[in-house]
Amino acid sequence: MEGGKSQAGTVIDVTVKFSGRSIPVSVPLDSAIKDLKALLQPLTNVLPRGQKLIFKGKLLADAMTLRESEVTSGAKIMLLASQGLHQGDGPILKNAATRPISRDKMPITEKGKAIVPDKNRLERWKSTGVIALAECNLKVMPDDIWGCGTSARALDISNNSIQEIPSKLGCLSCLQKIMMNGNDILDESICWEALTSLKRLTTLYLSHNHLTVLPKEVGGLKSLKQLHVSNNKLNSLPVEIGLLTGLEVLRVNNNRISAIDPSIGSCISLVEVDLSANLLINLPETFGNLRNLKALHLGNNGLKTLPSVLFKSCTQLSILDLHNTEITMEVLRHLEGWEDFDRRRCSKHQKQLDFRVMGSGEFDEGADKN
């Protein structure tokens, strides 16, 4: 039975088999196979050019319609994905059983009490300014942290199982660097008001957690120079990101972001931006405002073009990773300022002067990835 009617005509329901999953899809019967692949992209994290659709033992051609391919409602289509053409992988979650634990650091119980007392720990933190609690099997932040007060300059609680970042964090008012990557932090379990009260905070690591949104309070981190939120489940960046005019490094790779707000263009101090492995199909023209940008990582997205002013306006750009996107050399050569960018890139990468272009014509800038 056919799924119904739309402006494009008859809509059919098909089931796509992929990696042990059955994915139901409703699609107009007169859609091209390439349109079906575009629908499957956010559902499978596989770029369209990495998809092979097979129906009744035959490979479906991009230019053919579903009707021409004799695909009917209720059909089952198999999807095979080419290795290396995935995007938007989402969080790479740590495995608690295999998380490395430093033997010279004390395990902490769920109540925040040390199994083996360390009377000198607080004094050491105060004297060095560094609260070092990475890989300590923590489930909560121990109470003796708060005794550091204004002595603390850096807080490292990375690679634990901490879920809650309490409002007490604000009492460490002189913190400049916080590393909370590799924990179990959720949207509702982090006190952003406490973070924004830290007027000297320049570096914030929140990668490898379970965040789905960055709240508007992010815009209050006025002193921030580095923001690392890769490998979460973010689907967007807030408009308030544009308030971070001193931000120099932004890493939000391996999330599920499908669009970037034009407010990004107000982050005029940005030097490095990593948006790789998301679900992006375009970038706002305001990227041209990032005159200090030197490195832009966009690999493993569904991009087909770049902002028209990128090469012309971003005159310091010399690193561009477009690995596994659909941007071709022909597209790049038509952008104003391409020749100048090419010279800068070649000057920076003397050992690899030639772009690696695959036979299908896609631009594969793997050399710029590292």
| DSSP per residue, 216-247 | GGGGG-TT--EEE--SS------GGGGG-TT-
Report pTM.
Answer: 0.74
Match domain 4-81 to its CATH number in 3.10.20.90, 3.40.50.261, 3.30.420.40, 3.30.465.10. Answer: 3.10.20.90
DSSP per residue, 69-136: TT--TT-EEEEEE-TT-B------PPPTTT----TTS--B-TTS-BSS--TTHHHHHHHHSEEE-TTS
Per-residue pLDDT of the chain (370 residues; tens, 9 = 90+): 445 544 446 899 999 999 888 899 999 999 999 989 888 887 888 888 889 999 988 999 999 999 999 999 999 999 998 755 555 443 333 433 334 434 344 444 444 444 444 668 999 999 999 999 999 999 999 999 999 999 999 999 999 999 999 999 999 999 999 999 999 999 999 999 999 999 999 999 999 999 999 999 999 999 999 999 999 999 999 999 999 999 999 999 999 999 999 999 999 999 999 999 999 999 999 999 999 999 999 999 999 999 999 999 999 999 999 998 989 899 999 999 999 999 998 887 654 444 444 333 444 454 454 4
Phi, psi of 37 (to 5 degrees): -65, -40
The answer regarding whether domain 88-241 maps to CATH 1.25.10.10 reads no
Beta pairing partners, 79 = 53
Residue type, 358: M
Scanning the structure block, which residue is given the tokens 């879920």? 163
Domain(s) of CATH 3.10.20.90: residues in the chain: 4-81
Domain(s) of CATH 3.80.10.10: residues in the chain: 88-241
Return the structure tokens found at 295.
Answer: 């490195």
Scanning the structure block, which residue is given the tokens 């608690």? 96
Q: Are strands 9-18 and 154-156 parallel, antiparallel or unpaired?
A: unpaired
Closest CA to 345 of 362, 360, 361, 363: 363
Kindly state the DSSP code that residue 173 receives in the 8-state scheme.
T
